[in-house]
Amino acid sequence: MRCLLALLSLVFYCSGSVAQDPIKVDSLSYVYQTSSSHESKMLALKGLFWEYYFTQPDIAHPYAKEMAEFSLANDYILGQWTAFNLFGIFNYSQSEFDSATFWFSKAIVLSESKEYYDQRIYSLNYAGHSYRLQNKFLKADSCFSLFLEAARNNNDRYNLGRAYKALAINSYTQSNYTIALEKFIVADSLLSDTIQYETAEILQNIGIIYKDLKKYDLAKKYFVRSLDINNALGDEYGIHAIERSLGSLATDVGDYKTAELHLQKAFDYFKGYNDNYMLGSVSEILGVVYLALDDLVSAEYYYRYSLEKLQGISNAQTSNTYRGLGNTLKAKGLLEEAMIYYDSSIFYAKKSNSPETIREALKAKADTYYSMNNYAEAFRFQQHYQRISDSLNEVNSSKALFEIEAKYENDKKEQEIELLKVQNQLAENEKRNQRNLLLALIAIVLVTAIVFYLLYRNRQKTATKLRELDGLKSNFFANISHEFRTPLTLIKGPTQEYLSNNKAPETVRKDLKMIDRNADRLLSLVDQLLDLSKLEAGSMTLAVEAGNIAPLINSVASSFSYPAEQKDISFNCSVSEESGSFWFDHDVIEKIISNLLSNAVKYTPVGGEIRFSADISNAEALIYVKNSGNTLEKGNIEKVFERFYQAENASSGVGIGLALVKELTTLHKGSIHVSTTKNWIEFKVKLPVTRNAFSSSEFKYTSLSTKQSSLPVIDVDVNSISDEMVTSDADSPILLIVEDNSDVRNLIKRLFKDDYNVIEAENGAVGIEKAIENVPDIIISDVMMPVKDGIQLSKTVKTDERTSHIPIILLTAKAGEENQLMGLETGADDYIIKPFNNELLKVRISNLIELRNSLRARYSQEVILRPKDIAISTADESFLERVQLLLDEKLEDSAFNAEAFSEAIGMSRMQLHRKLKALVGLTTTEFIRSQRLKLAAHLLQNSGTNVSEVGYAVGFSDPSYFAKCFKEAHNHTPSQFKENLLNKEA
């Protein structure tokens, strides 16, 4: 069973357009900044949220946050309610349904008053659907019932119909087809004379029910009726939702080519929306289609894409996707790997309580065991499959549905007859002349409206397609950048390693330096291509901040003195600046100057001259770069800003540096001009450096994510280990390398194998298991990996008490501050971009371990632990607080040993040993003894208790052993220690 479509009502909160309207954004920003009315400010913030929501949700989220802060500060209830709902919708679209229900529930509490009726039913509706998608059907039904009750009490026919529709969807999700169809019919009778898109959605859902019951002719009938309404409305979302349903129907009947056409249309359209659930649903069906067509590469791609989009959703859709991916891997001959996905399919099928889905997953696993010649397991799963098959009886359900269908059609016909009678009666009462005049006016208005509407829609479609094309280009270059960085890492890593070896012959070192230099050049070109594609796609924005521009310009320009000297080029640099603070984007200025000077050094002949000057005055920065050796004709001057321009076939091209300079200058609101004389070429750049030159969205602000990790901690059973075994670890620290590329993994292992005990993992899921099992001293992880990526690994490790203290370095090919911020927000300690410098990586790892060692030194000689002084994270602090509470309760018990400690704290002996070694530098046994001896010293100092009683009081059953341990710790026996204290007091 596949779940119903995502809520269509979400779409109608926006203006009908996916992309931002710059004029509208500026108008809304102006209203928010200038209006004195709370209501106007809230409407402006809400409008700004929806302008960005479907394409750039991370930009939309701060507007909701700002709305919440403003409303709370001004005690504005309606604003608070709106902000909480926007938070809920944001989490809903990201498939974070537990967070969504939290925000919708807060909104429900705010709207309990009668005056907030509209707000209350809105929040109840969304809260119900959020619970439904978590398989919390009783809670969902409770929300929808409250929705129904509120609408009935207010005689609200329209919302009464929507409440029945929500209840129908909840019944359908639980496979209660009869109840679902009955409620859909009631909803249709209430909504048929109101808003047409509601009718279209109900017809589509009825079609989905018949499709799942294999009544394909009836299903197609309802899909077509729904499509006709959506076409008449011009509703692109509704049209493509039907394309998805028709593709699913064609898949079920085996018409895979037709299915592919429908589904690709839907897939291309929904990629432009922030709607993970719909995109995941379409991708899953495409996986089914391509698997049937034996296109295993495409099938695996769409199944994995679907799993990515359906993260956080535990329903039959997710189960089907895991099963489909397992079938694909089985077709590739990867039977063991397929079994892993079949287990996931069974797990999610059970969570969604879907007998049909459980049955299909069991059948797939039984068949695979048979293919593996494991006939005993194949027979066992076949028996499970047969039991579930025998318990399903679809005949009675189908019969009941046909009876309801007949009743439904009769009711609809009766309603249509009554409607015709009323219309005829009204028509007879109207005068012919008035009717004709009215019809003529309506026709004129409709024709005019249709013409303008069609023109508007065509413009919107064209603009959308162009934006999609720009987005695809940007993604293409981003993917190229990522793919190049990994092999560049494998080139630069061994090269740097051999260059650091002074024993290598000079001829070899010369070649290695050339390889390293050209690898850096290739990396620079990849970064330039990525920047240029972002600029053209409009996805690169300014990050303007105040500062002194002259030192930056001088620093960048001065770095070209050395390459100029290598070519015997005379390099003159002059920078002047008025006093004051200027506004500019540091990165843009640096790239403009670097590319201009790099171009000048490249094309200036040996013995030539370069003149660089910058003058910052009158709120403008004027930058001049002039070099000798001009070979351009005047007619070709402006073409130097074209990518890879060549004046003639035999000449070398200018690459993409100058094209990037022009785009960056335009982005910074500036201009660039090139001129030539007989033997000189000069570039003049003019850039504004005042605050007023930039919009509010172009200033650099620092924001921290407020998301809480909701990833589950994986429990791994580890056998109990004796103290002797635990304390026999090697002296070398343990390094866990998590990387899916075996070559990169081997490169890192080679760098550290002499100084560390190295453990390897091929993906994030295996990495989490090995981190919990071995508790390493440090983790190096790639970000982009199958099964679980580095971000998920970091979140899980940093929120699990067993591993939260472990420093993590994320190693990735994804450049950019936004990716670095995302990695660090998960709790990672460092973020290094491929290709990396070997020595830099070694130093960073060494520094992190040294930092942990210095934190251990804070372990004081007080009886009471100080978690805030020792802890690395909040999870560590919580762990140490639990340890202190346990010590307060158990330390005086002589039976309290390492085994009892590990059992009480909920960790294995090895895990507790590694955790304590990392935090305080002691084994479990040493830690218990240390705490007992510190408590003993405290008692001897502050009480009149004799030495024997003190030993027993702190858990030592043998006084002589207590005296021996105390002397080792304090260089005095307990008696001597107490005597010294008494002498000091005397």
pLDDT (average), residues 106-132: 85
Q: Which residue has the higher pLDDT, 636 or 572?
A: 572
pLDDT value at residue 30 = 77
Does residue 288 register a pLDDT over 70?
A: yes
Which of 332-346, 551-565, 597-611, 921-935 has the weakest average pLDDT?
Answer: 921-935
pLDDT value at residue 865 = 54
Q: How far apart are CA 470 and CA 461, in angstroms?
A: 14
Q: Which residue has the higher pLDDT, 507 or 661?
A: 661
Q: Which residues are CB-neighbours of 386 under 8 A, at least 6 positions away? A: none
Does residue 864 register a pLDDT over 90?
A: no
- 184, 408 Cβ separation under 8 angstroms: no
Q: How far apart are CA 759 and CA 747, in angstroms?
A: 13
Q: Which residue has the higher pLDDT, 865 or 365?
A: 365
Q: Which residue has the higher pLDDT, 392 or 75?
A: 75
pLDDT value at residue 836 = 74
pLDDT (average), residues 631-651: 59
pLDDT value at residue 474 = 59
pLDDT (average), residues 849-875: 58
Q: How far apart are CA 138 and CA 135, in angstroms?
A: 9
Does residue 310 register a pLDDT over 90?
A: no
Q: Which residue has the higher pLDDT, 894 or 873?
A: 894
pLDDT (average), residues 449-460: 84
Token couple for 847: 């520094």
Among 403, 414, 413, CA closest to 181: 403
* Torsion, Cα of 765, 766, 772, 778 (10° steps): -100
Does residue 368 register a pLDDT over 50?
A: yes
DSSP symbol at 697? G
pLDDT (average), residues 418-425: 48
pLDDT value at residue 695 = 87
pLDDT (average), residues 521-528: 68
pLDDT value at residue 856 = 64
pLDDT value at residue 671 = 92
Does residue 13 register a pLDDT over 50?
A: no
pLDDT value at residue 945 = 66
Q: Which residue has the higher pLDDT, 605 or 717?
A: 605
pLDDT value at residue 193 = 65
pLDDT value at residue 709 = 36
pLDDT (average), residues 735-739: 92
pLDDT (average), residues 361-375: 85
Q: Which residues are CB-neighbours of 242 under 8 A, at least 6 positions away? A: 204, 223, 226, 227, 230
Q: Which residue has the higher pLDDT, 384 or 793?
A: 793
Does residue 743 register a pLDDT over 80?
A: no
pLDDT value at residue 504 = 67
Q: Sign of dihedral through CA atoms 64, 791, 474, 12? A: negative
- 111, 123 Cβ separation under 8 angstroms: yes
Does residue 443 register a pLDDT over 90?
A: no
pLDDT value at residue 521 = 65
Token couple for 562: 């050395």
pLDDT value at residue 683 = 92
pLDDT value at residue 703 = 39
Q: How far apart are CA 286 and CA 264, in angstroms?
A: 8
Does residue 3 register a pLDDT over 50?
A: no
Residues 283, 284, 289: CA angle, nearest 5 degrees: 90
pLDDT (average), residues 47-71: 78
**Which pLDDT tens digit goes with each residue over 196-241?**
777 888 888 888 888 888 888 888 998 898 888 888 888 888 888 8
Does residue 331 register a pLDDT over 80?
A: yes
Q: Which residue has the higher pLDDT, 593 or 475?
A: 593
Average pLDDT across the chain, whole number: 77
pLDDT value at residue 24 = 74
Q: Could you tell me how far CA 794 lies from the centroid of its own chain?
A: 13
**Which pLDDT tens digit goes with each residue over 660-718?**
888 889 888 899 999 888 888 999 999 998 888 888 888 875 433 333 333 333 333 33
Residues 313, 319, 325: CA angle, nearest 5 degrees: 115
Which of 50-54, 802-806, 823-827, 963-967 has the weakest average pLDDT?
Answer: 823-827
Does residue 881 register a pLDDT over 90?
A: no
Residue type, 892: E
Omega into 835 within 30° of 0, i.e. cis?
Answer: yes
In DSSP notation, 589-655 reads HHHHHHHHHHHHHHHSPTT-EEEEEEEEETTEEEEEEEEE-----GGGGGGGGSTT--SSTTSPP-T
In DSSP notation, 647-681 reads SSTTSPP-TTHHHHHHHHHHHTT-EEEEEE-SSEE
pLDDT (average), residues 792-818: 79
